[in-house]
Amino acid sequence: MPTDSEIACFEAGIKFGTLYHQFTGTPVDHESAPGLERAIEEAIENQPHCVEASVTIHEDRLDEAIDPAIGYTELQGPLMDAEIRVEYEGHGVLTKMELEDGYPRMYVASVEG
């Protein structure tokens, strides 16, 4: 049987799978980025055991990605960083997604309890 900490880590992984695969491809520009950040956070926080989600779409990365001919781009992992905190049976897990060598790396930052 998995431990409660392992279950909490698994739950955090599911949240990141949802964040990444549900929202990748969403049209985004500078005007819509803040609203999209909030929408993603709220959608992830609706899931069981999630106590906090934070998403940052980086303006400088967005500048480089926006196609001037159409005025927007599609949301992609390298454009954003995220943190998700999950609590399960007294165990807290902090997970992060950060750009590392051009790749949006997701990882467990800490496990408590």
Domain ranges of the chain: 4-112
Cross-strand bridge partners of residue 106: 97
Specify whether the CB–CB gap between 54 and 82 falls below 8 A: yes
Strands 73-74 and 91-100: unpaired
For the entire predicted model, the pTM comes to: 0.92
Specify whether the CB–CB gap between 85 and 48 falls below 8 A: no
Give me the phi and psi of 33, to 5 degrees please. -55, -50
Question: Is 100 a residue whose pLDDT tops 90?
Answer: yes
Question: Is 113 a residue whose pLDDT tops 90?
Answer: no
Average pLDDT over residues 10-25: 93
Q: Is the dihedral of CA 19, 96, 85, 62 positive or negative?
A: negative
Average pLDDT over residues 17-29: 94
Question: Is 93 a residue whose pLDDT tops 90?
Answer: yes
CA distance 113 to 76: 33
Specify whether the CB–CB gap between 50 and 44 falls below 8 A: yes
* CATH for 4-112, options being 3.30.1300.20, 3.40.50.10700, 3.30.70.2740, 3.40.50.300: 3.30.1300.20
